[in-house]
Structure 1
Amino acid sequence: MTRKIRLSKQQQRQIDRRRRVANDTDSSLEPGIVVTHHGHDLLIEDAEHHLHRGRARRTVGRLTTGDRIRWQRDEQDNVLIEQREDRRNLLIRPDAYGKKKMMAANIDQVLVVTSVLPWMNPEVVERTLVAVFALPARPVIVLNKTDLLAEIDAEQRECIEATVALWASLGFEVIRTSVKSGEGIETLRERLHDQVTLAVGLSGVGKTSLSREITPRADQAAIGAISAFNREGTHTTRASTLYRFPDGEGGLIDAPGVRDFPVDTVPTEALEEAFPEIHAASAYCRFNDCRHINEPGCAVRAAVDDGEILERRLQQYQALRATSD
């Protein structure tokens, strides 16, 4: 005999809502993407890249820039967002008060922007790489202001070149750029062409200058509409905004106050991708659970002693590994 399960009214409402969502067809709802938001008001882009103001039903939940949604017009011809599609990834950052806040979703790649002046601590870049892999997304390291290399002292220049060469040798994509000389701008623009990209970097590395060098090729009418919606300038600093390009499906997300991605728990896979040389050497350690500290037969420590792996890289790896899942 089958036992009948009695559901509460709230449980039944949730099941009914899921059934309604599942029964909706593509022909009944229009696809779209959230471009930016201002309070409860949302600016969305439809399948033809037209922008619309709208609001979401409470059942949809909180939305953020990059969310793919389904919408329709109500009886008053207002845009009403009915559904949110599953997110591929989600960027959450604490605000000025320490409260966690959604900033962007469905990010394909992240530009980790550093520069000749100011030169970013390499460990900040490498921690960011770990978090980008954890999203997951593709990291692209940008060395900006390369026109200043000739103006800094030889020791600092050698340090920068050696660090960038190391990242490239480990398989990370590195693009050298300069707004002043034009170096790498077209390469960067091609990289952004069909990807949804988030740019991060310390203050002063030239992230805004790079954005302004690239976005003039975007749809100027759309940029004007976004600016008016946010009630601010072209590059808003209060809400994450997706600036789309008319010749591709990609765009550049301007997210305020983001320079890296601290994560509470580091996935093991992300750590391995960010430190490929340590992961490769660890396969030859005597013990499978080797911590690479003072265990006998540690291939990683041997590689450090031979100068094949940097000591600072191993120290950072060990610190992050302590929080891995």
Structure 2
Amino acid sequence: MARGPKLTKQQQRHVDRRRRVGRTPSGDDLLAGVVVAHHGHDLLIEDDARELHRGRARRTVGRLATGDRIRWCHDDHGHVIVEKREERSNLLVRPDAYGKKKLMAANIDQVIIVTAPLPWMNPEVVERTLVAVLALPARPLILLNKADLLGETPPGELEEIEAALALWQRLGFAVIRTSVKTGEGMDELKSELAGRSSLMIGLSGVGKTSLTRVITPLAGDAAVGEISAFNREGMHTTRTSTLYRFADMPGGLIDAPGLRDFPIDQVPEAVLDDAFPEIAEAARYCRFNDCRHRNEPGCAVRAGVEEGTILARRLRQYQELLKTD
């Protein structure tokens, strides 16, 4: 008869404790952990000491996502069994190629929207993503990477980039510039990442991989090797969402596959007000409280567009998103 894996002293103590209290583990008997990655039913779990364990969840736990906080134990053979999922603060769900909902990541504190001079992301895509991040809810951070290329950017394109960054910053969104090549902004980025569970998204070619390698110096650590072996792929050939820790600070970075923007379903008007603060402020002076800023008389928002204090494209986008409410 095949035997289970040889138990460590910690595992054996845990098993012995379970035997004393019975086969059904109590809340006090369960250990805390976080889902680092998963392949089907197979899970990679991090414990409080940041040690990694392979395991599986009971069917009663339901579907798990990277970043889920869980409670787990060892069975009589030392296998890791997830018994419970803690309540989520948020959950990112994306449809797969077949339209089936796929759990991407949970308990996200911050989403880093990565742009670059080349390829430059359409500002409206950035702003739609801002709406979805605020709806999670999570903190958005707009990052212009490859800042060293700004000096080579044609004047017209450079003016568009600078105008967009200045607008977002003026509206109260965090905006930073980084360059892996020169080191610009890397300390500021690390400061923004410290103590937060962050998710990085952006178009292909904006340098997410290079940024990740710099800010997660665990690239040469055994833990990353174990994650890569579990994923059956290299660190940055991402097919499943994976949580990477930092060597020198608390927090973590979730690397998600093929995530360029967020799906937007129903958007509460309060979220739109946070994403379009200049429109929300002007709307306070509209003649009608329920003004939708279309054809109503006395609309202060449309007046702002005519005066140039509100961009017409942002009002158009606001109105399009308001339809989904």
Determine if the TM-score, normalized by the shorter chain, exceeds 0.5: yes
* Closer, same or farther: CA 213–246 of 1 in aligned 2, 3 Å: closer
CA offsets, 1:78-136, max 9 Å, x none? 00100000111000001122221000000000000111111100000000000000000
Residues 202-217 of structure 1 aligned to structure 2 (within 5 Å): 202-217=203-218
For 1:36-75, what per-residue CA distance to the aligned partner results, in whole angstroms no more than 9, with x for missing partners?
0012110000011110000000100111100000000001
- The equivalent residue for 1:245 is 246
Matches within 5 A, 1:248-263: 248-263=249-264
2-side partners of 1:218 and 1:206: how far apart?
Answer: 16
The residue number in structure 2 matching 1:301 is: 302
Assess, with a 3 A threshold, how the Cα gap between structure 1 residues 170 and 234 changes in structure 2: closer, same or farther: same
How much is the aligned-residue C-alpha RMSD, in angstroms? 1.4
Q: CA deviation at 1:268?
A: 1.6
Percent identity of equivalent pairs: 68
In structure 2, the CA distance between the partners of 1:268 and 1:316, relative to structure 1 (3 Å rule), is same
Matched, 1:274 2:275: yes
| Greater alpha carbon shift after TM alignment, 311-320 vs 93-102 | 93-102
- Cα distance, 1:218 vs. partner? 6.4
Q: Which amino acid aligns with 2:269?
A: T
* 2:50 counterpart of 1:49: yes
C-alpha displacement of 1:246: 3.5
Which range moved further: 103-112 or 198-207? 198-207
The residue aligned with 1:184 is: 185
1:14-25 to 2 correspondences below 5 Å: none
Maintained 8 Å contact 1:147/1:181: yes
Find the counterpart in structure 2 of residue 40 from structure 1: 41
Runs of 5+ consecutive residues of structure 2 not aligned to the other structure: 1-23
Cα displacement (A) at 1:219: 7.3
Question: Taking structure 2 as the reference length, what is the TM-score of the superposition?
Answer: 0.90
After TM superposition, the structure 1 = structure 2 runs for residues 118-197 of structure 1, keeping only pairs within 5 Å, are: 118-197=119-198
**Residue 217 of structure 2 contacts residue 247 of structure 2 at CA under 8 Å; is this kept in 1?**
no
- Please say if residues 58 and 82 of structure 2, whose CA atoms lie closer than 8 Å, have aligned partners that are also in contact: yes
TM-superposed CA distance for 1:158, in Å, is 1.0
Aligned length: 302
Q: Do 1:219 and 1:246's aligned partners in 2 also have CA atoms closer than 8 Å?
A: no
2:311 aligned partner, one-letter code: L
- Give secondary structure in 2 for the equivalent of 1:27: helix
CA contact (8 A) 1:227 1:236 kept: no
Aligned equivalents of 2:30 and 2:236: distance in 1? 31
1:218, 1:246 within 8 Å by CA — same for their partners in 2? no
Distance 1:227 1:218 in 2: 10
Contact 2:216 2:247 (C-alpha < 8 Å) held by counterparts: no
Aligned equivalents of 1:33, 1:292: Cα separation in 2:
46
For residues 234 and 304 of structure 1, do their structure 2 counterparts lie closer, same or farther at Cα, with a shift above 3 Å needed?
same
Structure 1: stretches of 5+ with no match in the other structure: 1-22
Amino acid at match of 1:82: E
Question: 1:121-165: CA deviations, max 9, x gaps?
Answer: 000000000000000000000011111111111111111101100
- Change in Cα spacing, 1:249 to 1:24, as seen in structure 2 (3 Å) is farther
Aligned to 1:232: 233
User: 1:20 aligns to what?
Assistant: none
Contact persistence 2:200–2:254 (CA under 8 A): yes
The amino acid of 2:198's aligned partner reads: T
Matches within 5 A, 1:64-83: 64-83=65-84
Contact 2:148 2:182 survives alignment (8 Å)? yes
Structure 1 residue ranges (4+ consecutive) displaced by more than 4 angstroms after TM superposition: 23-26
Aligned equivalents of 2:323, 2:117: Cα separation in 1: 32
Q: Tell me the residue number matched to 1:94.
A: 95
Query: Does structure 2 conserve the Cα–Cα contact (< 8 Å) formed by 1:202 and 1:259?
Result: yes
Deviation at 1:24, TM superposition (A): 6.9
Equivalent in the alignment of 1:312:
313
Do 1:114 and 1:142's aligned partners in 2 also have CA atoms closer than 8 Å? yes
Hey, what's the Cα distance between the residues in 1 that align with 2:162 and 2:120? 11
Q: Distance in 2 between matches of 1:194 and 1:156?
A: 35
Q: Write the distance in 2 (CA, Å) between the matches of 1:177 and 1:220.
A: 25
Distance 1:98 1:302 in 2: 42
When normalised by structure 1's length, the TM-score is 0.90
- Amino acid aligned to 2:95: P
What secondary structure sits across from 1:263 in the alignment? coil
Give the aligned residue type for 2:221: Q
Aligned to 1:18: none
Q: For the residues of structure 1 that align with 2:54 and 2:218, how far apart are their CA atoms? A: 24
Cα drift, residue 25 of structure 1: 5.3
